[in-house]
Amino acid sequence: MRGDDVADGGAAGGDPMGGGRTRRALDGGALSPDARALCEAMTAGFPGPGDVAALRAAAAAGPRPPGPEVARVHDARADGVPVRIYDPAPAPGAGGGRPLVVYLHGGGWVMCGLDTHDALCRELAAGSGAVVVSVDYRLAPEHPWPAATDDALAVLLWARAEAEALGCDPDRLVVAGDSSGGNLAAVTALRAPGLIAAQLLAYPALDASMGSESVTTYGRDHFHTAAHMAWYWDQYGGDPAHPHVSPARAPDLSGLPRTLMLLADCDLLRDEGLAYGRRLAAAGVDCEVRLHPGVFHGFLGLPLPAARAARAAAAAWLTTVRPTPGGRGA
């Protein structure tokens, strides 16, 4: 599947905003029963927008099933930025051709961190054989834009420089993230043309204007609310029209790397993700969009069948990443 084809739970569909089997979901899909039950339970224990300390405490207290065993996991600093490195098969002193993934966690730029996304990073590393570098970037509102984007770029450049020491191919460098981390991943790809082989974006926040139809359709009663998202954008700061704040505002997407985008059907950010996927395809980027029906924002780390399938598919996709054109491994 290439261009603006869309996968509906993993199977090929048609134009993401066109007819056929994907149209029903795009006109207003419903949560699956297990997703609805989980959504209601999570919503009941999650604070409204406005209290940073309460939101951070809720995110830290959430249940976190352990991820798979990974041969070596250790904390380090990458050009001064705290990171956690997951190596599923370390080979000291030997270079290798494995992919290297820089992962940027979600959390509205104000919460979450290495521990909240530990299981997900373990699963990506174990399932793909890639080394994963999870980034503990500075959070807003204490550190507004561009602090997080600068940390993300610093770690990416560090990872490329250290790739061979980590047993990876510097030309198989991937930037990845979910939600606000997907925003940071997309921005990093814009800021580092030619250095990244692929980007993996899970339900990314791409446009601070929040003007898409899915914001109206799913902005309430689906855990991640429009009120929360608007508040997160306010805390993050920056010019909403700047492409390093809102990647959807970038005038030219040509030259961006191969892309996999994972979207939740019942998510207020869905339509901006679909629109970005269409623009990437129109710019000649190898872009695959997988739209997962019956799930809500943040599903990738949840105990849902669709999430397990999406994580496994994402890890499998990472194994297919090829070196950047003209790179040493090309």
- Judge whether 295 and 266 are in contact, CB under 8 Å: yes
Beta bridge partners of 86: 73, 132
Structure tokens that stand for 149 in this block: 């984007």
Structure tokens that stand for 302 in this block: 């949840």
For the chain, helix (H) and strand (E) counts, in that order, are 10, 10
Positions annotated as catalytic residues are: 179, 267, 297
Structure tokens that stand for 13 in this block: 């569909």
What 3-state class would DSSP assign to 227? helix
One-letter amino acid at 251 equals P
3-state helix, strand, coil in the chain (%, to 5): 35, 20, 45
Structure tokens that stand for 273 in this block: 């993700």
In angstroms, the first-to-last Cα distance of the chain is 23
Placement of tokens 């297919």 in the chain: 320
